[in-house]
Amino acid sequence: MAGKAVKLLIIGESQVGKSSLLCRFVDNKYEDNGKTTVGVDFKRAVICVDGTEYKVALWDTAGAEQYRSITPNFYRKAHGAILVYDSTRRETLVKLKQWFEDLETYCHNPNIAIMVVGSKIDEKRVVDSEEGRKFARDHGALFIETSAKCDLFVKDAFNQIVKKIVSSKHFDNGSDSSPSASASPSSCC
């Protein structure tokens, strides 16, 4: 039984691939429809770490400027955050600085686990791996590059951040912290 709950945010600029990563991870599908998330999307997964199942509430926040005023409400009580940039668009990496600042302002969890994800590595890059890695290191975050389209390292990203969250001495959450508690698990060891 998955008794421990983890709240995980997925944040970053519009069209960087946040929803594609989430869809690939939870549903093992890739949709190249270019639809922008309106407000916030929610999915649930179960991730196994060291033989223990964790219910993970995955909050895909809209990156478009018109929705930025509502997304901070979802930062509260988050255990972790995946900050996504598009490796084909340098400005999305530059703008991650603002997303980090928003996270610090609204999250209220000094022990939040953070991962920087460079997406779309299957396409022609503008941002190389070392640049993304340095950005993550400078902000005390984990780092990985992914391709939702080719299913490269997507599961690794989610598994690594959840493992970091639950292995922290500060993590002790035995209850569900999100809606849809009856939603079916979508990923397990």
pLDDT at 176: 40
The residue among 150, 189, 166, 61 whose CA lies nearest residue 113 is 166
The CATH number of the domain holding residue 53 is: 3.40.50.300
The residue among 48, 64, 50, 65 whose CA lies nearest residue 6 is 48
The residue among 161, 119, 120, 162 whose CA lies nearest residue 142 is 161
Average pLDDT over residues 123-145: 97
Average pLDDT over residues 50-57: 94
* pTM assigned to the model: 0.83
pLDDT at 177: 41
Domain assignment of residue 180, yes or no: no
- List the beta strands (DSSP E) in the chain: 4-11, 40-49, 52-61, 80-86, 113-119, 142-145
Band of residue 18 on the pLDDT scale cut at 50, 70, 90: very high
pLDDT at 2: 47
pLDDT at 35: 60
pLDDT at 40: 64
Domain that holds residue 152: 4-167
Task: List the Cα angle 15/17/22 in 5-degree steps.
Answer: 135
The more confidently predicted of residues 32 and 71 is: 32
Domain assignment of residue 188, yes or no: no
Domain assignment of residue 141, yes or no: yes
Band of residue 108 on the pLDDT scale cut at 50, 70, 90: confident
Overall domain count for the chain: 1
Domain assignment of residue 98, yes or no: yes
Question: Could you tell me which residues come within 8 angstroms of residue 139 by beta carbon, excluding any fewer than 6 positions away?
Answer: 100, 114, 116
Domain assignment of residue 179, yes or no: no
Domain assignment of residue 160, yes or no: yes
Strand partners, 49: 52
pLDDT at 187: 35
Domain assignment of residue 174, yes or no: no
To the nearest whole percent, how much of the chain has pLDDT over 90? 63
Domain assignment of residue 107, yes or no: yes
